[in-house]
């Protein structure tokens, strides 16, 4: 059977992502979502069966892997157990050199895809993108969640600053991704209500909405400019009105 090449967003040169779902619409929608935060990353949907039904397709998964593989690695995320089996079968049939750079990650599909896409967009290598996808496991657990209004413990030294979310829709996926991208360019650690500012899922798990006051903090004596830069980004509303 001739494989139909999937539609791929993004460009080559970065770790590619494949989303395998029993539903073509879910996989395609996930590509659309991830592309909002990772426009320069190769993303491909491998959803549904060859005849358009609900299920998974070996040929679609294999074609999607080939489409996003630029030689630096491919991360595959799946929705259900049988999708993982299909992906593993497709991987087994790859050439040895290609197979070595394809990793199937057993993590929540949506959260893992978003985290992996942001890491790949930032130029993360295969190991970093895999780690980002796996960070989705348990990322939204409610235990010991810091308050969105400054409930995290104060930093004993360093520098901290409170800032209010002004975006109408809160810190949703796109602005959260911009925030994390900036945090990853800084050379000092910064926290948001006690959570790592470089963790997309950590930031999104707080459910920050318009009007919430957050505390940006660093223990680094040289971290003032980093905190102020992130605070300025939040206060700017990320270009949204």
Instruction: Using DSSP, state whether 234 is helix, strand or coil.
Output: helix
* Phi, psi angle pair for 219, to nearest 5°: -90, -5
Q: Alpha-carbon dihedral of residues 175, 176, 178, 182, nearest 10 degrees?
A: 140
Instruction: Using DSSP, state whether 177 is helix, strand or coil.
Output: helix
CB atoms closer than 10 angstroms to residue 13: 13
CB atoms closer than 10 angstroms to residue 187: 9
Instruction: Indicate which residue of 15, 21, 22, 158 is catalytic.
Output: 22
Q: How far is it, in rounded angstroms, from Cα 171 to Cα 177?
A: 9
CA-nearest of 163, 170, 162 to 210 is 170
Catalytic (active site) residue 241? no
CB atoms closer than 10 angstroms to residue 166: 15
β-pairing, 43-47 with 16-21?
A: parallel
Q: How far is it, in rounded angstroms, from Cα 91 to Cα 100?
A: 9
| Cβ 69 vs Cβ 101: under 8 Å | yes
Residues annotated as part of the active site: 22
């Amino acid at each position: 059977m001739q494989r139909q090449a999937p539609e791929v967003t993004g460009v080559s040169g970065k770790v590619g992502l494949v989303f395998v779902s029993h539903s073509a619409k879910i996989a395609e929608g996930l590509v659309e979502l991830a592309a909002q935060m990772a426009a320069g990353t190769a993303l491909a949907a491998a959803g549904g069966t060859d005849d358009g039904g609900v299920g998974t397709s070996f040929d679609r998964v294999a074609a999607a892997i080939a489409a996003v593989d630029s030689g630096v690695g491919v991360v595959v995320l799946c929705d259900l157990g049988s999708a993982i089996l299909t992906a593993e079968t497709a991987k087994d049939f790859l050439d040895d050199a290609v197979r070595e750079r394809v990793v199937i990650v057993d993590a929540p599909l949506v959260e893992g895809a978003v985290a992996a896409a942001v890491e790949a967009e930032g130029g993360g290598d295969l190991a970093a993108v895999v780690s980002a996808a796996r960070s989705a496991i348990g990322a939204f657990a409610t235990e010991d969640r810091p308050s969105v209004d400054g409930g995290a413990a104060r930093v004993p030294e360093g520098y901290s600053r409170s800032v209010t979310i002004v975006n109408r829709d809160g810190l949703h996926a796109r602005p959260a991704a911009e925030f994390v991208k900036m945090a990853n360019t800084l050379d000092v650690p910064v926290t948001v209500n006690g959570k790592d500012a470089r963790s997309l899922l950590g930031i999104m798990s707080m459910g920050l909405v318009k009007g919430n006051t957050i505390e940006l903090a660093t223990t680094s004596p040289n971290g003032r400019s980093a905190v102020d830069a992130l605070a300025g980004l939040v206060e700017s509303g990320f270009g949204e009105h």
